Structure 1
Amino acid sequence: MWGHGWNGMGWNGMGWGAMGWGGWIMMILIVLTVWAVVAVAGIAIFRGLSARGGNASPPGDAGRLLDERFARGEIDSDEYTARREALRAAR
């Protein structure tokens, strides 16, 4: 009765509380895993939203953007040809 430690929330001979040390380690690992999943999900959502909202286009879209600018009349045929050749030379 008296030699087995505290009852309740204290030392009971196998560790703190009824879980023991293994239970506490598992609980800490589960909590850390949950927080890691939340952090990764938050980063993925943030990157997805910023990629959709940004005006930056991937490098492969330079030719398409040049075609669109020419089709809208923003640049003339001489500028279009010069820029198209510059894009081909850069690749």
Structure 2
Amino acid sequence: MFWYDHGHDVSGWGWFAMSFGMVLFWAVIIAVGVLLFRALARTGGGAAAGPPPPSVPPPSTPPSASMSRPEQLLAERFARGEIDEDEYKRRLAVLRAAHGPASGAGGQGSEGSHGS
């Protein structure tokens, strides 16, 4: 090495520079490894950002098999607190009356569901 050829004349700053260089070298190596791992995990895992897709369907899914789309939307509005219980029941009755006797009367149900 350089300092062996010149009679051990490396000063304190030389040792500091070598130590700092070694720490910086390993920090860069570790950072590159972590970034590479994250990039590979991200591309292999599907979505690039955001939470993973839910593995269990939301609680409102099982009743949706028997509910029409307008009834689902009405139930969601009630769950969010946009409408109160009385308005929910009134609109649900209108929707079921519109869809009950004539199953093809989809236009009347959508008119009753977006009133106020």
Find the structure with the greater CA-based Rg: 2
Alignment TM-score, normalising by the size of structure 1: 0.46
Alignment TM-score, normalising by the size of structure 2: 0.37
